[in-house]
Amino acid sequence: MRVTVPISVGGWARLFSRWDALAVFLILGLLVFLAEASRHLFAPLAELQRQPPSLDPANLPEYAARTTLRMLIAMGLSLLFTFTYATLAAKSRAAERLLVPLLDILQSVPILGFISVTIVFFMQLAPGRVLGAEFAAIFAIFTSQAWNMAFSFYQSLRTVPTELTEVSRNFRLGPWMNFWRVDVSFAMPQLIWNMMMSMSGSWFFVVASEAISVGNTTITLPGVGSYIALAIERQNLTAVFYAIITMLIVILIYDQLLFRPLVAWADRFRFEQEAGVLPPRSWMFDVLRRSRLVDRLTRPFALLWRQLLLARWRTPARSVKRAPRKQRRWIALLWTAIVFALGAIALWQVARFVAENITLADLGTTLLLGLLTLSRVVVLIAIASAVWVPVGVWVGTRPHAANLAQPVAQFLAAFPANLLFPIVVSAIIALKLDPNVWLSPLMILGTQWYIVFNVVAGAAAIPAELRAVGANLRVRGWLWWRRIALPAAFPYYVTGAITASGGSWNASIVAEVASWGNEHLRASGLGAYIAQRTEAGDFHHIVLGIAVMSFFVVVVNRLFWRPLYGYAERKFRLG
């Protein structure tokens, strides 16, 4: 309970407490960050060519600020996309038939595919200005964040416990209130873990988003990604080391200022609260709660949000008349027909565009390359699952270990494969290894953490009663894993594995082509094919490669992951 202290002569000293002092310091730091990160946004695009990024370490603070701002803006857009797209897919069976397969396709489209198609559009939004290139970079980063968060939120909405649904029905909550009070609250702990993963995973593609090269068009934005690309091109190991240190500092900063407060705040939404376990702590969260200055600054927004919720609360309780079953069936058939018609039109347009300069031999070669990349993805996902599922369960069932592992996992997930090129390329050449085999681990380097983060979130959600029953009945060893741990983590694992699988396809454009100075290695696969065609500006073959990659991802998801997902939803749903 908060007590309001009346203002008096002796009370003025209490109005500005240590929490307010910290808040002032943080607000000033935020203003400096925004000012540094938004410099030259409206400058002419030609200025980038006159002042290209350099390897001077003194520029890294500005580069880090600009990269971080792009990632945070993309994160905000990803949240908006998640709350709308995933909710519609989870709440409407008719919409689900279109939106979930479309999400499968979107997560499989390589970031170079998005850039090659959208760069002209975004550049036209601000002709001749740096802002247009910034739009393109932010959108590219968005495509590396949104799909994982959408899958996570979709999975949470499909597995809301029946007890919460019954409470919502008894209190007659309308769709708006039910969404914020039940759906978002239940999904928030897992969503925050996936936000961490998306934020960290976007570092993997920040090089491609800040050093854009499509055909004859080359745009290099100041940032950590372009700094890494330049360091690799010039074989500057010292600059690579500076980039790693900068990434570590940036990750630690936004972990302390953003994610740890979110984890501490979201602990209240855990479906099960275990007695005797201390909640996660965050000094930043304490500042936000206890600072009077922050309270006064945020009070207008809180009142506005409360009024919005209350306005929606006053009108929800009306019962909605459902259409007759026969009419609903005809509506569903009509929707399905529209979906198939739109899909057929899109497929026809793609086929017509590709067929202009593509032969059957090109199609056969692309399919064969797709099978090679598919074999790598299958083997790597299997190895990552065998290694990281036990680790994720162990960390998730120990809150203290989770708090310690959080920043470490974020840094490892954020570590771009490009930074390992000096070691990998040099080792493969020196030891005369096969690039088709030894470049493959780079594909899973960033995407394996989707499995880790989701399994940790699933293990942390194991009900305390279930753990107590297992302890009382002395369920141990393999029996404990088979009856308690794996069933509880399985739905979360499937979500992480689906995203990791799609992300591995996407990462193949970086992993199957490795360069270090004048040394270039190339593995046979669909990722290398798309990367090579993108560099040449061959849009017909780019579209062919993306179409084949999307085909493989959708087929695997439809035949394997989606049935597994449905099994997990039916068999292991809480409540």
Instruction: Tell me what pLDDT residue 72 has.
Output: 92
Kindly report which listed range (138-152, 219-233, 332-346) carries the lowest average pLDDT score. 332-346
| CA gap 457, 449 in Å, rounded | 12
| CA gap 214, 289 in Å, rounded | 48
Split at pLDDT 50, 70, 90, the class of 8 is very low
pLDDT tens digits, 494-504 = 888 888 887 78
Q: What proportions of the chain, in percent to the nearest 5, are helix, strand and coil?
A: 80, 5, 20
Instruction: Tell me what pLDDT residue 528 has.
Output: 86
Residues 6+ away with beta carbon under 8 Å from 277 = 399
pLDDT tens digits, 440-461 = 888 887 778 888 888 887 887 7
More confident residue, 214 or 534: 534
Type of residue found at 266 = A
| CA gap 85, 152 in Å, rounded | 12
Place of tokens 């495509």: 143
| CA gap 502, 110 in Å, rounded | 10
More confident residue, 303 or 278: 303
Instruction: Tell me what pLDDT residue 77 has.
Output: 94
Kindly report which listed range (46-55, 99-108, 315-324, 539-548) carries the lowest average pLDDT score. 315-324
Split at pLDDT 50, 70, 90, the class of 11 is very low
Percent with pLDDT over 70 in the chain: 82
Whether the per-residue pLDDT at 484 is higher than 80: the answer is yes
Q: 93-108 and 539-556 helices cross at what angle (nearest 10)?
A: 130
Whether the per-residue pLDDT at 331 is higher than 70: the answer is no
Instruction: Tell me what pLDDT residue 515 has.
Output: 74
Split at pLDDT 50, 70, 90, the class of 247 is confident
Whether the per-residue pLDDT at 158 is higher than 80: the answer is yes
More confident residue, 242 or 460: 242
Whether the per-residue pLDDT at 196 is higher than 80: the answer is yes
More confident residue, 107 or 387: 387
| CA gap 203, 225 in Å, rounded | 8
Query: Under a CB-based contact definition with an 8 Å cutoff, are residues 533 and 546 in contact?
Result: no
Instruction: Tell me what pLDDT residue 33 has.
Output: 84
Whether the per-residue pLDDT at 13 is higher than 60: the answer is no
Instruction: Tell me what pLDDT residue 322 has.
Output: 52
Mean of per-residue pLDDT scores for the chain: 79
Provide the phi-psi class of 190: left if phi over 0, else alpha when psi is between -120 and 50, else beta. alpha
User: DSSP label at 415?
Assistant: -
Instruction: Tell me what pLDDT residue 302 has.
Output: 76
Whether the per-residue pLDDT at 222 is higher than 60: the answer is yes
CA distances from 151 to 191, 192, 381, 431 (A): 10, 13, 18, 41
Q: What is the pTM of this model?
A: 0.77
Domains of the chain (ranges plus CATH)?
A: 15-271+339-571 (1.10.3720.10)
| CA gap 61, 253 in Å, rounded | 13
Instruction: Tell me what pLDDT residue 320 has.
Output: 45
Please give the average per-residue pLDDT across 531-555, as a whole number: 80
Place of tokens 């004859």: 216
Type of residue found at 6 = P
Query: Under a CB-based contact definition with an 8 Å cutoff, are residues 369 and 508 in contact?
Result: no
| CA gap 135, 302 in Å, rounded | 30
Split at pLDDT 50, 70, 90, the class of 412 is confident
pLDDT tens digits, 389-401 = 998 888 888 877 7
- Residue 393 sits at the vertex; the CA angle it makes with 387 and 394, to the nearest 5 degrees, is 90
Split at pLDDT 50, 70, 90, the class of 10 is very low
Closest CA to 495 of 557, 431, 427: 557
pLDDT tens digits, 20-31 = 788 888 888 888
Please give the average per-residue pLDDT across 543-562, as a whole number: 84
Residues 6+ away with beta carbon under 8 Å from 395 = 401, 402, 405, 456, 459
Split at pLDDT 50, 70, 90, the class of 12 is very low
Instruction: Tell me what pLDDT residue 1 has.
Output: 43
Neighbours of 310 (CB within 10 A): 10
Tell me the range of 7-11, 73-77, 344-348, 532-536 where mean pLDDT is highest.
73-77
Whether the per-residue pLDDT at 212 is higher than 80: the answer is no
What Rg, from alpha-carbon coordinates, does the chain have? 25
Kindly report which listed range (198-202, 210-214, 362-366) carries the lowest average pLDDT score. 210-214
Kindly report which listed range (150-164, 260-274, 428-442) carries the lowest average pLDDT score. 260-274
HSE-CB at 242 with a 13 A cutoff on CA atoms is: 22
More confident residue, 465 or 187: 187
Whether the per-residue pLDDT at 268 is higher than 70: the answer is yes
Length of the chain: 575
Query: Under a CB-based contact definition with an 8 Å cutoff, are residues 279 and 267 in contact?
Result: yes
Please give the average per-residue pLDDT across 142-163, as a whole number: 85
